[in-house]
Amino acid sequence: MFYFIPAWYPEGRTWYDDTYIWYRRPIGSRFDDSINQLRMFHTVGEACQLLVLNYRPNLRYYCHRYDLLEVDTWSVFDDIQGIGQIPVRILDYMDLDWPVGAEFINSPFLVMVRLQGQPYAQIEFGEEGQMVWVDLFEEGLISKKLVFDDRGFLSSILYYEGGAEHHQDYLGLDGIWRIREYLLPDDNHVEVNPLFQDAMWQSSYGRIEDLIQERLTVYFSHTERQEGVIVLASDPRHNHLVRSVKKNRKLVLSFFGERHPIQEGTNFQEELADCRLVVTDTFKKAEALQEVSKIPVQHQSLFDTRLALGKSQRLKELILYVLIDGLSWSQLKGVLDCLFESMAENQHIYLSLVSYSPDFSFQQEMEKKLTELLEHRPESYLFLQDQTETRMFEFGDESEKTSRIALHFLHSEMEIITHLDSARLIIDLADEPNLYTQIAGISAGIPQVNRVETEFVEHMKNGYILDVPERIGEAIDFYLTGLTNWNKSLIYSVQKIADYTKGVLVEKMKEKIE
């Protein structure tokens, strides 16, 4: 059995919920190693289970969003609240017991409830339209937050004093609180309802983490769970907790993104001491960790390839998907100068400048710099068109200027795949090419231009490796002049897909673990 423990935690309260209301979707990539590893293992039929350590009343919607709904799942807070397998029902806010005279005001974002002319409640919804919580007000200040589970019941109540969080009651299906967590600046202890004391080891805990550790210990104490492999998303917030309960089970640590930065001075020898395998998403991390540990460290694709060829070969426009992340402004300007020369020589070349950065200030700065740069260019087709404009009808006005350059900030797998669908060539000249882009490029059969050769992209086979960015014109000519080289790259990518399918990646991990 493979036990996958993700790090789906919010920035503030580590062990709390990170559900967001639909109109305040967080900016940033939602890529996650646990999501993709789970999908791979589950798809090939490996026995696996998802263990969720934080409070997630909307876990079903989250799993459905990432094709994990069929994965066997155990939640610590379901265990604490005494919630087993229950039928799911749709909960409508009108099902709640509202006071006589309550007035409901629907807005495009939420539902406001007023009573005798005063704010009484505010009903919020998630991305899928489900009711996630209801804020109740007294004398203009929030007094309670009713948090609902996506299975159709009241899951917890967050109490406020003077508008500030005071404590939270986690409820069972009967509406009676099981535990009470205090949220004061100097007091985060947890009380257990005496009615349910037999279900816990203690009557109170210094912090919620202590109770989570206890319940995870109990879970792993069952005879049928004595062995297995724990695949842990490496995160300083829970590594110590999981290691304390793993016993003789094999441990795999997965490093992804900036979740667990590998900083100089960190004692990774102790961190990796009881691991069987470490997997990383970049060569740099693999090299850094291998230097401080004798544990096998493997740079491995955390994403599987799926043949999904794009439509670029059927388009007249030659769209270059240019990833700008990892480049300084001066480096980007140099690359753009070379690309502008190619655009002048070939009127069918269009640039799609792409960044995955969630930093809004970076986005604004990049848009401003690009706008200023293009304003000093003589070409009439070099200007950033407003991406928010939606033109419902086009009448072919010849006098209207058409832009051949666009700037996009993409934050999900689907957005990237959609943009790659029409791309003829991928250009990523960072010191280390983006892993997901490389895998997605192979899946779409798109040649890639990089500065360094990787296991995914090989020179003049399914890509072009540049020793200096100024030679980018060579790569563009190689793949865009005629279709011979482009088609050879497509064939090579299709052959390479077999190396990065779900089954192959799973077997590689299993082999290293053993």
* pLDDT tens-digit readout, 48-88: 999 999 999 999 999 998 889 999 999 999 999 999 889 88
Give the pLDDT band of residue 128 (cuts 50, 70, 90): confident
**CA 3 – CA 5 distance, rounded (Å):** 6
Place of tokens 């992340």: 325
Most confident of 263-277, 395-409, 441-455: 441-455
Give the pLDDT band of residue 31 (cuts 50, 70, 90): low
Overall average pLDDT of the 378-391 stretch? 72
- Would you say the pTM of this structure is higher than 0.85? no
Give the pLDDT band of residue 355 (cuts 50, 70, 90): very high
Quick check: 302 pLDDT over 80?
no
Own/partner pairs, 127-132, CB within 8 angstroms, 24+ separation? 127/20, 127/22, 127/25, 127/61, 127/65, 128/61, 129/22, 130/58, 130/61, 130/91, 131/91, 131/92, 131/93, 132/19, 132/21, 132/57, 132/58
